[in-house]
Amino acid sequence: MRQTRFRPSAGFTLIELLVVIAIIAVLIALLLPAVQAAREAARRAQCTNNLKQIGLALHGYHDAQGVYAPGYLTKIGGGGVMGTPDPDTRDAGPGWAWGALLLPYMEQSSLYGSLNVSLPSWDLANTTGARASVATYLCPSAPDMTRVYDVKNEGGTTVATFSRSHYGANAGRVEAWATDSDDWSTISDGPIYRNARIGVAAVTDGLSNTVFISEHSSSLSDKTWVGVVPGAVGCPTPRYAFSECDVSATQVLLHSGPNPWENPPVVHPPNSRLAKICGTFSDHPGGSNVLMGDGSVRFASSNISQVVWPALWTRAGGEVISSDSF
């Protein structure tokens, strides 16, 4: 009888296996940045689309009201349910911010209808609506996508819980909330500030040369579309603990700097290393998206001229800005 010989099957040697693993690792290392870049491009595109939707709502509000939405609403002198004005900022109720006022113009009429705008934004009657998430106000590039956050005062006491936003409105170069004035109309040189009533005719620099809304990621500090609570403060996240807390107005408004009382003057370009919670800040590499008054969305570089950047934040500064200045 003839015996059948069994030959061992050929296989990978240890060295060959290690070589294959090394090749796969190199391919992954080459492909991963491209995949991450593609994902960020998609997130940035969604963020751009959000700003375009906000721009349409701003113009819808203007068509209906004859002015752009104010940064937020305060009853001068307060009184009754509106409370006593904050002694430092002069803020009182109702506090409703530009994001809440735009809801009926961005297919959120039902949410707006659930809010009792005759009461302060932090009133218990508005608890449910104030915690509702609005996708248009959330940029997918922001790492913290939690839908709400606690609004706290200087003592750390929670005074409200509001829905999150990743966008802030342009109050101009100057932080008027650092003053104790009731009237910001002679302080704020942007288009959207407390109790503002700015129409298109007042934006003499041109809508295409004026920032209206810009990004502000929750990786730096919390922002909301709901409103401003007197006495509350906004603070940087632990990652940017070297920065400073600021008053509640900065949770809905931003400014570019410089302030006239600063020496030397300080400008806050997009994604500034100073990480001021009242400035433009995004998680996009190299800069931030900004919504211009004409409804277009531009990408402002972190290296933008510190002369051009503040000029884009004034509504009637008379500056001449070229199209390639961004």
Q: Which of 121 and 29 is assigned the larger pLDDT?
A: 121
- Please tell me the predicted confidence (pLDDT) of residue 43: 81
Tell me the per-residue pLDDT of 148-200, one tens digit each, with 9 for 90 and over.
999 999 999 999 999 999 999 999 999 999 999 999 999 999 999 999 999 99
Average pLDDT over all residues of the chain: 92
Res 13 pLDDT > 90: no
Q: Which domain holds residue 225?
A: 15-312
Of all residues in the chain, the percent with pLDDT exceeding 90 is: 81
C-alpha span between 312 and 24 (Å, rounded): 48
C-alpha span between 263 and 245 (Å, rounded): 21
Tell me the per-residue pLDDT of 91-105, one tens digit each, with 9 for 90 and over.
999 999 999 999 999
Question: Per-residue pLDDT averaged across 110-127, rounded?
Answer: 97
pLDDT band at 321 (very low <50, low <70, confident <90, very high): confident
Does the residue 216 lie in any domain?
A: yes
- Please tell me the predicted confidence (pLDDT) of residue 21: 82
Total domains in the chain come to 1
C-alpha span between 167 and 147 (Å, rounded): 14
Res 38 pLDDT > 80: no
Does the residue 204 lie in any domain?
A: yes
C-alpha span between 121 and 93 (Å, rounded): 7
pTM: 0.88
Return all residues near 94 (Cβ < 8 A) that are at least 6 apart.
73, 74, 75, 82, 117, 118, 119, 120, 121, 227
Tell me the per-residue pLDDT of 44-71, one tens digit each, with 9 for 90 and over.
889 999 999 999 999 999 999 999 999 9
The b-or-e profile of 291-304 (16+ CB within 10 A means b, else e) is: bbbebebbebbbeb
Does the residue 65 lie in any domain?
A: yes
Does the residue 198 lie in any domain?
A: yes
Does the residue 209 lie in any domain?
A: yes
Does the residue 188 lie in any domain?
A: yes
Does the residue 132 lie in any domain?
A: yes
Does the residue 166 lie in any domain?
A: yes
Tell me the per-residue pLDDT of 221-279, one tens digit each, with 9 for 90 and over.
999 999 999 999 999 999 999 999 999 999 999 999 999 999 999 999 999 999 999 99
C-alpha span between 45 and 63 (Å, rounded): 27
